[in-house]
Structure 1
């Protein structure tokens, strides 16, 4: 069984109406998952690793980024507490293409081919075909992850592993998912996308507040970035060899 969760703040009726109309138009079962809001100026969430955040970024996460991070984790946790085998997670500012339901159905018909599948991404990345889905749609692998948590399918194993990986919060949730060299969860995508991102709603992430760093903190930040970059490049080298060697349908 599959569940469809749309993450949405309860006090955003325009966004909810926008998504509700689409779900009802395509006759899709759904539920709104109340997003977690972190009020500006409130205490840091217990999961927030501020020391690590400043070490690799030098700037605190925005309140909305923290809420988004915690909301996706809460969806995964609730999914794992139930009996559904797959979960479709959507944010509340996406447009569904007419082919959306058919592509999701094709993915669910062969779940052994994936752990997480992005249905939209913020950036275009070189894609390696895995197999045909339906019509012109193709399941793909990415060498470099294309960012974005606007919409994705996830299975129970991936949800459990990502929940563990994100137990400390020091980056935005889409960045945490992109770091496959750390969590090891295969994240695939589809080409072309079956979602669009509606920018007319604006952002609920808030404004970033730059933190003044001492020379020592700046040095630590740069050392962290170098170490992360080296680990990433080793991972990408090995992953590229695997992708290029794999037979294609």
Structure 2
């Protein structure tokens, strides 16, 4: 039976999903690890809270900065490619139409129809046609540095807020246990959701995220217990 055209394509979700999951995952893991490391050093509750807040702010800013620099580099490359294409269209319009037609021929169109399509698209918007079909760029995929930076910082902050909330509401004596449990549970749900939406194996997604996150938190707690001193 033919599939409906409204069928959800899992790959359509991969881009935004990956960024959101990485940001939130980093927020939970790094902040929880920091809290556990400081808590294991026998620090006061206030010191643990301050360290967690500082970790959230520093982590969110770091994520935003890294994402901005990375995506801005991509945007610069896209602009350079478009400028080069604009110059080629000005200097050799006939050759560019032929290049566009050859792209459509390679995709399976008959030569005459490919040339007709190339001529029509060139007359409508030559740069847009080459941007999409030669360079692989479109409005939906263009790099947006500020948007990417804000989204990355927000997703990190949302993830980091969870272990911080535990510090606020849980008594000091139970802080380590509740932080570990809440963080791993949230990470398991996050990993499972990411796998489900992305069409991957849910069990493997949950196991992968929780295992490596547990290793990170255990290492931080071990270092805090080994080298920490009371604050």
Output the TM-score relative to the length of structure 2: 0.27
Higher helix share: 2
Higher strand share: 1
Higher relative contact order (CA 8 A, sep 6+): 2
When Rg is computed on C-alpha atoms for both structures, the one with the higher figure is: 2
Output the TM-score relative to the length of structure 1: 0.25
